[in-house]
């Protein structure tokens, strides 16, 4: 199991279009992937789950993966968030 913390800095947080990009990338991996905020953990491959966390600009989240490609999954998703979803 691998995890990493990252701060969401794009203007709308992890909502609508950025959340869709995030979930599409998460679905490219075989590993189970979760997003954690405060005490809540949701499936990173679920749009409703990710949106339910209400992640806004400045929020620090943890990305956790467990599986055969866990390290690549976490690093790819952290890079996506740090790039502000290439906006």
Go through the domains of the chain in sequence order and give each one's CATH number: 2-86 (3.30.1340.10)
Q: 69 CB contacts (<8 Å, ≥6 apart)? A: 29, 30, 31
Task: Give the model confidence (pLDDT) of 1-59 as tens digits.
Answer: 999 999 999 999 998 899 999 999 999 999 999 999 999 999 999 999 999 999 999 99
13: alpha, beta or left, given left = phi > 0 and alpha = psi -120 to 50?
left
Residue 86 has pLDDT above 80, yes or no: no
Rounded to an integer, the average pLDDT of 55-71 is 97
Rounded to an integer, the average pLDDT of 77-82 is 96
Q: Which of 13, 15, 74, 80 is catalytic?
A: 15
Q: How many residues would you count in the chain? A: 87
2 noted as active-site residue: no
pLDDT for 87 equals 57
pLDDT for 70 equals 98
CA distance 11 to 77: 18
Sign of CA dihedral 2, 66, 39, 52: positive
pLDDT for 16 equals 86
Q: Which residue has the tokens 């990173």?
A: 44
């Amino acid at each position: 199991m691998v995890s990493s913390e990252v701060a969401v800095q794009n203007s709308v947080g992890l909502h609508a279009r950025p959340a869709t990009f995030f979930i599409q990338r998460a679905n490219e991996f075989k590993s189970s992937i979760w997003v954690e905020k405060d005490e809540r953990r949701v499936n990173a491959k679920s749009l409703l789950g990710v949106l339910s966390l209400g992640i806004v600009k400045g929020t620090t989240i943890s990305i956790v993966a467990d599986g055969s490609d866990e390290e690549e999954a976490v690093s790819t998703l952290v890079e996506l968030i740090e790039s502000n979803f290439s906006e």
